[in-house]
Structure 1
């Protein structure tokens, strides 16, 4: 009791009493506390050697409520907090409270994988370095199914592989397969992107859709229909002239063939 009571008395005696400040903070076993500041008052708790602090180390005085912003911490036996490994075991040379520079080793239960270092040491600042590890299951979470696609997998245990596929008309962007490694996938799931049609895949216009010259009994009617179609399709006069010239050549070729056939019959 004396180890913390004397420092509290000395601090209270050194600070002026005032009605516009918080009352002296509650004492904590196996600790000393230091109050600093006049306008804004703070209190800092320090545990004695062989104890570690649990809670907030520094409290501040609220000017409105004249109360400390958090409850006082506690000082527990042991230089560092007792290491806890859920779903695992730890080995230590000391069965009592943790002492400074003490080293502990860790091992997970069957079916769990150690994530982190397999040992840790209690430091002078009451922390464990490296940090206390955790024991996790080797199974990965269900992977995200890509939109317009799917995946195939036997299971999601450590070492398993999942393969992704896209629906018809879509292509895979990213890794086609991922592997479960110590409870985590080896990468991000891919996406399925729509396959855009190339120019060669664009359907060719039919003769009717392209406003080709269609011969009829009345040649004037044929030309009028062609011009009307070209107008609806917003074709230029140059394009219209080109279409008529092509049809003219076709008619001349037909006429030449027919003339040759008539001469051969006469002979």
Structure 2
């Protein structure tokens, strides 16, 4: 009986709604509907008290999706909500959030229920180049675009002059670049540099400078050209002063290992021919070896006179300035004849010296006019005499 009454009431309400064209009849407008709560939904577009004709919209909470039912419900006649079955949402949980290359996840922990959000952030040294940083668990699936992280680039490196770098660019975090220098060049600075998380290099680009060989000293009595050059591949030449002979290589080259290709030469004096002392004489120093610029003095024994030049000098071209002289006997000193004179008046008693004689006025010479000092140390003629003229 009671069920028949309910059916009759419903038929009347349907009839009234049909007659009223779907609008809420005036007599029911003050009546209210009870609040309609649907699990896992959010109600909007209406608020209590719910009057006849109020329209409420329902959406699934974040992380849930519609399974069945209507999103819009209307309060009718202050007694019921029209619009079909209520909205039902599916809210299945998710598994662990997916891993993203070069990124970490934070802001969420298990269990990962529907609506859970996880934040992704690129690791240190990487930057975002695409995708999203938030993923949400929506009905058993993680929604949102995958974060794309790329290594932070560092500025382009310049290859050092006379060197190379490995690997070639471009370079990004955390790559390590190694520098090497060509043969004969030394590295000044760090041998490697690393692209850091902030996009800068850990060390500046080094330089490659020529290997240096030990400083060379000019040989005694010589010079080197150029002075002070010690770099790789530099060629240094040696020249001896006049009168000196080069013993060794005339040039050396600085090699890649920092050594010279040859030892530095020496400059030794040129040697002059051996001298033989003159008969009845001596040499000082006595020899036997003489070299530039030695001087040799020639002396004769007592009673002998030097015919030649002393001292002699060993010259830059290896020859003597003069030949060795000879020692010849000295003739006895001669005095002018009585009442006469000699020319020259003194000296002149060496080999081939000639002395002439004259008599005073009123005196007559008896004997030779002159005399010559001979090689055997005797005079060719005796001193003449001067006798008074007879009147």
Same fold (TM over 0.5): no
Relative to its length, the structure with more helix (as a share) is 1
Higher Cα Rg, which structure: 2
Given the two structures, how large is their TM-score scaled by the length of structure 1? Answer: 0.31
Higher relative contact order (CA 8 A, sep 6+): 1
Given the two structures, how large is their TM-score scaled by the length of structure 2? Answer: 0.23
Relative to its length, the structure with more strand (as a share) is 2
